[in-house]
Amino acid sequence: MTKSNVTPKRSIQASPSALPNDATVLCGRDKSLTHRAVMFAALARGETIIREPLLGADCLSTMSCFRALGIQIEALDARSIRVRSEGFSAFKTPAVDLDCGNSGTTARLISGILAAQPGLKVRLTGDASLSSRPMRRVVDPLRRMGARIEGPEQGNFLPLTIQGQTLQPLAHEVDKASAQVKSALLLAGLFCEGETSVRLPAGSRDHTERMLQRMGANLVSEIHDGMEQVRVRGPFAPPPGRYMIPVDPSSAAFFCVLGLLRKGGTVRLPEVLDNPTRTGFLRVLQRMSSALVLTPDPDQRFVEPVMQITLEGGAALRPTDIEAAEVPTLVDEIPVLAVAAAFAEGPSTFHGLEELRVKESDRLSKTAELLRLAGAEVSVQGDSLRIAGRLKEVQAFTYDAVGDHRLAMAAAIMARRSKKPCCILDSECVGVSFPDFYEMLDSIV
Ligand code: S3P
């Protein structure tokens, strides 16, 4: 698709105020948890209430897929939704394609669920970005359980046609630390008689496991020598429930980096999900700075623990390396961590970034492009990103976010360090995960 001058764009630069303000920012709610809460609610027979769901485009894609399968999802009030379902056995073959939009989590997790519904037939579609992302990582192991899934290039790409079957439990070996793959297989395993297990490199987010354990599923997870094994015993029918969704650490990460890069002032980020499989970026930022305080929040109402993050601007940042083993815990935060590393007092290298090439865009080369446009010295060596650091003056830049929400937000944080206006093309794609991002950015001067 060619970009025209109607592509939404934004101009951002350093705040004109010499004095950074103190700000409390309630960032967007967690995308991964909202997807899963909607999915489990749709599988359960009865009524589930989800408080503070993220209503970003990705989660709306999950909701519209389940609506097409016959599930009622409606606003209960401004900050809650109600999901009513007759249970998975009442899913109806939809009259329309299930459009997963830009959302890999929707496409991959829903494949695991729907492949295991005998008699159901669906076709999954997505936007141009999602249609170019690899699906065989879930399709192949699901086929080994007996799934019937067809699609271009042996089922590697959307549109996928799924003909639901009775699946057989299986012990899976997966070579990537991917929560989407792990979750798709565990979800399929819920509908099998017996034990389904997934063995994979450790570190990927564990929300599916935590939610299933909380619901009473027979699920065990163990980590040995850098490998994780999760076993679930089916059949298990999720019960309806109540979920309250914390703030998304992946959204808070942009304001963490902004808070550290400002000349002063305090930024407070409350109600942030506190789960070590999601907060690797905080461990990296703690290596780079001491101006970061994490305070556990005893509030028990959320589906997982929460904390407050407090940051002070003005301190120098130390360079740091990111090892391949920690990447699964910060996989979505690499672009904004790279922005932070550009200002560090020396070189940083981020290793093990191959998965970034198959995200919503080729995030590895697009992150390097952003840094280069801003005037930073950066190189991509295989799957590593080497960032020289010591960036003083951010050059005015025009950056095309190519529809990738996390790139647009990383570019906005970089632009806030430039004395001249910087232009972000395709800026509104932030709505995929953080619809209020620019409004919140404007609240911090
Ligand atoms: C997600 C898992 C991650 C992450 C994505 C959300 C999830 O993808 O990048 O934004 O909710 O399970 P992978 O499992 O492909 O690493």
The pLDDT tens digits along the chain (445 residues) read 344 557 899 999 998 887 899 999 999 999 999 999 999 999 999 999 999 999 999 999 999 999 999 999 999 999 999 999 999 999 999 999 999 999 999 999 999 999 999 999 999 999 999 999 999 999 999 999 999 999 999 999 999 999 999 999 999 999 999 999 999 999 999 999 999 999 999 999 999 999 999 999 999 999 999 999 999 999 999 999 999 999 999 999 999 999 999 999 999 999 999 999 999 999 999 999 999 999 999 999 999 999 999 999 999 999 999 999 999 999 999 999 999 999 999 999 999 999 999 999 999 999 999 999 999 999 999 999 999 999 999 999 999 999 999 999 999 999 999 999 999 999 999 999 999 999 999 999 9
Atom number in ligand 1 closest to CA 182: 14
- Asked if the domains 9-29+246-442 and 31-244 are classified in one and the same CATH topology, the answer is yes
The residue whose CA is least distant from atom 9 of ligand 1 is 332
Among 274, 332, 400, 404, the one annotated catalytic:
332
**The pair of three-digit structure tokens given for residue 422, joined into one six-digit string:** 């910087």
Domain positions in the chain? 9-29+246-442, 31-244
CA of 179 to the centre of ligand 1 (A): 6
Tokens 């999900």 correspond to what residue?
Answer: 273
Structure tokens at 119: 């008699």
Distance 181 CA to ligand 1 centre (A): 9
Q: Are 397 and 374 in contact (CB under 8 A)?
A: yes
Alpha-carbon span 320 to 54, nearest angstrom: 32
Give every CB contact of residue 307 below 8 A, 6+ residues apart in sequence: 272, 274, 294, 295, 296, 297
Cα-based torsion angle of the residue sequence 261, 252, 272, 270 in order, rounded to the nearest 10 degrees = 60
For residue 331, the ligand 1 atom closest to its alpha carbon is: 9
Best residue among 205, 206, 405, 406 to mutate for probing ligand 1's pocket (most ligand atoms within 8 Å of CB) is: 205
The binding-site residues of ligand 1, defined as CB within 6 angstroms of any ligand atom, are 32, 35, 105, 178-180, 183, 204-205, 331-332, 355
Q: Check if 332 is active-site.
A: yes
Atom of ligand 1 nearest to the CA of 31: 11
| Strand arrangement of the beta sheet that strand 398-400 belongs to | 9-12, 422-425, 398-400
Helix (H) or strand (E) holding 22: none
The ligand 1 atom nearest the CA atom of 176: 16
Best residue among 105, 113, 326, 327 to mutate for probing ligand 1, ranked by most atoms within 8 Å of CB: 105
| Residue 137 Cα: closest atom of ligand 1 | 15
Residue 333's alpha-carbon distances to 18, 30, 102, 165, 405, in angstroms, are 28, 14, 18, 37, 12
With beta carbons less than 8 A apart as the criterion, state whether 289 and 315 touch: yes
Q: Does the reported pTM lie above 0.85?
A: yes
Ligand 1 center–CA 258 separation, angstroms: 24
Class of domain 31-244: alpha beta
Residue 105 C-alpha to ligand 1 middle, in angstroms?
Answer: 6
For 9-29+246-442, which CATH superfamily applies? Enolpyruvate transferase domain (3.65.10.10)
362 Cα to the center of ligand 1, angstroms: 15
Rounded distance, CA 331 to CA 250, Å? 9
301 alpha carbon – ligand 1 mean position (Å):
25
DSSP notation for 387-441: E-----SPPP-EEE-TT-HHHHHHHHHHHTT-SS-EEEETGGGGGGT-TTHHHHH
Candidates 308, 50, 334, 331; CA nearest to 205 is: 331
